[in-house]
Amino acid sequence: MRGSTNKHQLRSDKTYRSIVDTAYRLYLENGIEATTIQQIAQEIGAHRATVYRYFGSQVEIGFAVAEQLNEELLGRYFGRLEVEIQEAGTAWEKLSIMIRVGNRVCREMPESMKFFALFDAYLDILPANAKLGMELDELLAETTLITWMTDVIEEGRKDGSIRSDIDSKLMAVALRQSFMTLWNRIVLWREGLSQAYGIANPEDLADVLLGATLDGIRARN
C-alpha cells in the first residue's frame, strides 16, 4: 500500500500502526533479514493474511517504518533549524548550523538511525536494489537536502565565507555522504568501535569529522 492516497486513513488504523511499530521493534532486535512476516503477525496476535492485507512485502513494511521515523526526524530537525539559523550571519555559519543541528538530532535518535542503516543495507542485497535505494533516498529527502546545501555553499563562495576553489555540488554530496556513512558505522558497530579504539563515546567521531570538515572549507581572510 506504499504510496496510497489513503495514507492518513491507514495511519489511523490500529492494526496498521501495530504492524509498523512491531516490525520496527523486531527489526532492531533481530535484523530485517531475520524477521519474517509470520513473526510480525504472531507478535500482534493476528494471522499472516492480516499483515498482507496492509502490506504486500517486507520491503513495504520497511518503507512504512522509514516514513514514520523520517517524519519525526525531519520535524525535529527543521523545527530547530528554523530557530537557530536566524543567528547565522554568513553562508558558512548557515551551513555549520544546518549540519550541527542534523548531527544533534541523530545523536538524540540512535534507534531511528540504526533502522535507517539496517534498511539501507537490506535494500542493497535485493535484486531491485538500485530502484529501491533511489526510493529510500527520495523518502529521506536526500536530493532536497543536497540541493539546499549546494546552494548555501555556492552562496558562501560568493560572500567570501567559504573557499572559492571548492565545487559546491561535490562538497555538498561529500558532506552528506561522509556524514551518513559515519553514522551508519556508529549505530551498527558502536561497541566494536569503542573496544577497538578505546573510544568511550563513538558518537563523538561525528563531532570531530564535522568540525574538521567545516573548518577546512572556511575561507581564510
Q: Can you tell me the distance from the alpha carbon of 70 to that of 169, in angstroms, rounded to the nearest whole number?
A: 24
Evaluate whether 98 touches 78 at the Cβ level (below 8 Å): no
Q: Does 98 lie in the same domain as 49?
A: no
Residues 37, 39, 41, 47, Cα dihedral to 10°:
90
Residues 15 and 63 in one domain: no
Asked which of 56, 79, 101 is the last residue of a domain, the reply is: 56
- State the number of CA atoms in the 13 A half-sphere of 153 facing the CB: 25
Instruction: Give yes or no: residues 39 and 81 share one domain.
Output: no
Task: Give per-residue pLDDT as tens, 96-131.
Answer: 999 999 999 999 999 999 999 999 888 887 776 667
Do 213 and 122 reside in the same domain of the chain? yes
The reported pTM is 0.84
Domains contained in the chain, number: 2
- Among 137-146, 154-163, 199-208, name the one with the lowest average pLDDT: 137-146
Q: Which domain holds residue 41?
A: 1-56
Asked if 76 and 31 sit in the same domain, the reply is no
- Provide the grid cell at 173: 554530496
122 and 211 belong to one structural domain:
yes
**Closest to 119 (Cα-Cα) out of 24, 220, 43, 1:** 24
**Residue 145 pLDDT > 80, yes or no?**
yes
User: Looking at residue 100, what is its pLDDT?
Assistant: 94
Question: Domain check: are 203 and 156 in the same one?
Answer: yes
Helix (H, G, I), strand (E, B) or coil at 161: coil
pLDDT digits (tens, 9 = 90+) for 75-98: 999 999 999 999 899 999 999 999
Whether 134 and 186 share a structural domain: yes
Q: Which residue has the higher pLDDT, 70 or 135?
A: 70
In this structure, are 64 and 101 located in the same domain? Answer: yes
Whether residue 155 is found in the same domain as residue 84 = yes
Answer yes or no: do 64 and 44 share one domain. no
**pLDDT tens figures, 16-75:** 999 999 999 999 999 999 999 999 999 999 999 999 999 999 999 999 999 999 989 989
What pLDDT digit, counting tens, does each position of 176-188 carry? 888 888 999 999 9
- Tell me, yes or no, whether 76 and 182 share the same domain: yes
